Structure 1
């Protein structure tokens, strides 16, 4: 897949059952598709040249080596009772073991359900209650059958090939959702693939890609595995580091990477002489998604690498639809995440289910192509649907040309003095300050306004002694109307967003509400 001379992405519908369930940005020829089980794909590529498959922490495994490890681990999982169409939780860090485990499960016809290895026991137990997995790998939980991370299967388990089975669902991805309760998105797409074609957004067969994101996140999980399905090489980072990512792109001549805006911001905030010292000429595509990208940041990256290499996508794990926009298009529609792609249709509806006029914010719905309808279901939640149209819970508006612009979710909007304040807009403005590394805006109770906008700010290390709330408020006067400027500020040293660029707004608010309750109890009104 490529961009046309005008910058418009060339898109086509999915061509075989195991294509990526995010449902977008694929090039295909249905009459030429060949499908093999996911469990067989490593051996398939090993027999056709045995190229490097996976590089992690300085170690590179060829396809035959990764396949042998997966065979051994599959036999270990089988000895623990894992069988066809079982769900298995993987609470593993980015590692070689992670990839061994996913391919081992596909060989058994089981479905991997990756979760963050940093979950607390109570968080993991809530997911286990929802999923009821056959096995939990990593983490600490009350699961009946659990295997610690880092366990080597040992020589007692053979590396010889085993007959692969095909799972009905090739992946199951967890999401906290707006309620804070876990939900699991089951992808009802059989575990087969066409090993000659890459089917993830803008990837090409045999690409060398950099994966800087956490593998429990759908986009990173899908992108990295689809690269291996198509015979490429994954250069995998244990966790994101800005300068290290540039080093790896240069060293391995990476052609494709997928990032979230948090990663882009951290790279951009490197000293210019550091950022510009690396050779990124091999890099064909930087796809960013996962969170709204501040306009200033997108502009800087386009100036740095050129618009033809910067592509944005908006989609959900559910795979019901997506939008995409090239950097060239974006310069004509700044702030947009693009138009509907991959054969899906998109609508913006008001609270009464009527289609919104251009420029009017409403809830975003997608209708997937006929052959992809019914390709997902939830565990622990239910889909919001109107016929064949499905909502992912996001708000936005379209312009006259059909380009989508995201707004905050209804649960994120701060209503202060009867006026809506959208946190993403305030965060975007704060992010323009050169000393702000990251920020999250939430609503807290206010006796006068009902709620007030409260900014939680992570400053660059060298700026902690020179920037205060007054300085930020003064800066925002040039960016926002008065009512949108936060009424209170809080400075923190810990990262506010995870490596997937996600901020846990609900948790951040609950923690501060609890602290306010303690203060109120200790200082009752007289």
Structure 2
């Protein structure tokens, strides 16, 4: 699991294949990451210090990540889709000593707060030193006393300010690997023959961790700079991808491709199709299994690292809708008073048996994530069945409370997403004088579909009989559903937008 060992045994093998087909060999990744590691030490960084990185998906991002990983640093990839104010908050909050910004992110660079060292890569930036010039004459051999570092990631910020998740810094020499690296190899079959495909943004936990983990196993990581369903299928054939990773919205877009397009590419190299990040609608997953075979592997976890569930296709077909049983830690389903609920009853999910985490520089949020028993929560709701399989309902913050009844947006979204007139959908709760909240459906119509009252009636007819009457949307809007590149709905954006509309109509 030591990058230096792989670079010595397979120096010319592609460790990475980038968005335009450019490649970086193991030898190149080893040499460049070592030079950057020497730079970090020369800047006075030591184990446990922080760096922040603002960059799109690009090849020269990876030597920076590996340099931090091999020198015991915390590294925070910043979501460059954030506003300037939000990105500045993350850089400031994580306490970075070094800030590295891609030249392509000049739109954010000037707005970011001052830190002791500001470096650009991939081109010049005003008031930033060029990384490439600083490392050109530095050694390409490893620094002394290499030790494992760790990403310090921030939550997606779908409902408020992003929260920095500070894990326990591993006390291990570089090459030991992180706990998740071992899980990838032991449970997901990653080895030196693996070709992993990531179409997601590298500032998110799964694309980042799995991309690095594939290299730890001696395989090749192929990554894109955006998700395009046809491109993904072409890449699977071109690079003989064995382990692609998706989120459910990507499945939907691939399934909606014409049959002749889906059947055009050779997908026989696939060994395992990995998915996570959001619950997958049952009909969507059934359709994917029918297409590619029973090779889907789903997992449920969080940046906090306080749980890990997984389920293969065979188990899922016997327990449709489940995200599996825990392979790390344990789960408890509790009511509002903290009492455990029996199988089948929905409550808040709490986890035990995993290393503790904290929200960086935010003791109040950290305290709120734990109960008196030391169990921690991600704020999700769900239930377990009699066999111990977990089923997710929604996040507590997404729950719609209408007339004293809990309504889970996911039920409505799952029913609508495969309707041929729907390209994307999100359900939110808007204020209602009579019921407290009402269900509002935000629908992105499919191409060539005309939005309006007729489409509303068609969608309501589709929902009738599939969800209870009290769960039917009482209003619709036809617009783009705002999502992060990870696939998560930005519900706070929708709520802010529609609260303003409601207020203007009431004036």
Q: Normalising to structure 2: TM-score of the pair?
A: 0.88
Q: Matched residue of 2:27: which SS? A: helix
1:68 aligns to 2:31 (yes or no): yes
Q: Could you report, residue by residue, the CA deviation over 1:55-97 in whole angstroms, capped at 9, with x for unpaired residues?
A: 0021111100122222343455556554432211112111112
Structure 2 CA distance, aligned partners of 1:117 and 1:306?
36
Quote the residue 1:143 is aligned against.
Answer: 114
Pair 167,469 (structure 1): closer, same or farther in 2 beyond 3 Å: farther
For the pair 1:54 / 2:16, whether they are aligned, the reply is yes
2:349 matches 1:378: no
Task: Write the distance in 1 (CA, Å) between the matches of 2:382 and 2:235.
Answer: 36
Shift of residue 417 of structure 1?
2.2
Residue 171 (structure 2) pairs with residue 187 (structure 1):
no
Q: Deviation at 1:373?
A: 2.6
State the distance in 1 between where 2:268 and 2:430 align.
47
Deviation (angstroms), 1:377: 2.3
Aligned: 1:247 with 2:228: no
After superposition, what is the alpha-carbon deviation per residue over 1:137-188, rounded to whole angstroms, capped at 9, x for unaligned?
Answer: 2233123343345245137433521315555751101014575122111221
Aligned-partner SS, 2:188 = coil
Corresponding residue of 1:18:
none
Per-residue CA deviations over 1:347-401 (Å, capped at 9, x if unaligned) read 2111222211111111112212xxx433x32213303234242212111111111
| 1:42 alignment counterpart | 3
Is residue 498 of structure 1 aligned with residue 484 of structure 2? yes
- Residue of structure 1 equivalent to 2:150: 170
Q: Counterparts of 1:167 and 1:424 in 2: how far apart (Å)?
A: 43
Counterpart of 2:247 (choices 239, 260, 271) is: 260
Change (3 A) 1:175 1:164: farther
Alpha carbons of 1:203 and 1:113: their partners in 2 closer, same or farther (altered >3 Å)?
farther
Q: Within 2, Cα distance between the matches of 1:284 and 1:470?
A: 43
Contact 2:48/2:169, CA 8 A, preserved across alignment: no
1:19-34 alignment, distance < 5 Å: none
Which residues of 2 match residues 7-26 of structure 1 at below 5 A?
none
Partner of 1:404: 390
Are 1:357 and 2:342 matched, yes or no? Answer: yes
1:205–1:198 Cα change, 3 Å = farther
**Structure 1 residue 198, shift from structure 2 partner:** 5.1
Q: Deviations over 1:175-223 (max 9, x none)?
A: 1457512211122142633479853250421111111111111111111
Is the 1:131–1:184 contact (alpha carbons within 8 Å) kept by the matching residues of 2? yes
Using the TM superposition, give the Cα deviation of residue 54 of structure 1 relative to its aligned residue in structure 2, in angstroms.
0.4
Deviates more, 1:316-325 or 1:266-275: 316-325
Partner of 2:398, secondary structure, is: coil
Question: 1:42 touches 1:64 (CA, 8 Å); kept in 2?
Answer: no
CA apart distance, 1:465: 5.7
CA change 1:76–1:464 in 2 (3 A) is farther
Q: 1:7 maps to which residue?
A: none
Aligned pair partner of 1:290 in 273, 277, 284: 277
The total of aligned residue pairs comes to 475
Sort the Cα spacing of 1:463 and 1:101 in 2 relative to 1 into closer, same or farther, 3 A. Answer: same
- The alpha-carbon distance between structure 1 residues 249 and 179, as it changes in their structure 2 partners (threshold 3 A), is closer
Matched, 1:114 2:85: no
Question: What is the CA–CA distance in structure 1 between the aligned matches of 2:351 and 2:221, rounded to whole Å?
Answer: 31
Native 8 Å contact 2:403 2:437 kept in 1: yes
Shift of 1:261: 0.5
Unaligned runs of 5+ in 2: 102-107, 124-130
Question: What is residue 482 of structure 1 aligned with on the other side?
Answer: 469
Question: Is the Cα–Cα contact under 8 Å of residues 210 and 257 in structure 1 kept in the other structure?
Answer: yes
Structure with the larger RCO, 1 or 2 (CA within 8 Å, 6+ apart): 1
SS of the residue corresponding to residue 376 of structure 2 reads strand
**Which one is further off, 142-151 or 471-480?**
142-151
Question: SS at the partner of 1:357?
Answer: coil
Q: Distance in 2 between matches of 1:286 and 1:436?
A: 25
Tell me the distance in 2 between the aligned counterparts of 1:279 and 1:386: 53
TM-score, normalization by structure 1: 0.85
The structure richer in helix per residue is 2
> In structure 2, do the counterparts of structure 1 residues 330 and 182 end up closer, same or farther at CA, with 3 Å as the change threshold?
same
Whole-angstrom distance in 2 between the partners of 1:498 and 1:256: 23
- 1:434 is aligned to 2:405: no
Root-mean-square deviation over aligned CA pairs? 2.3
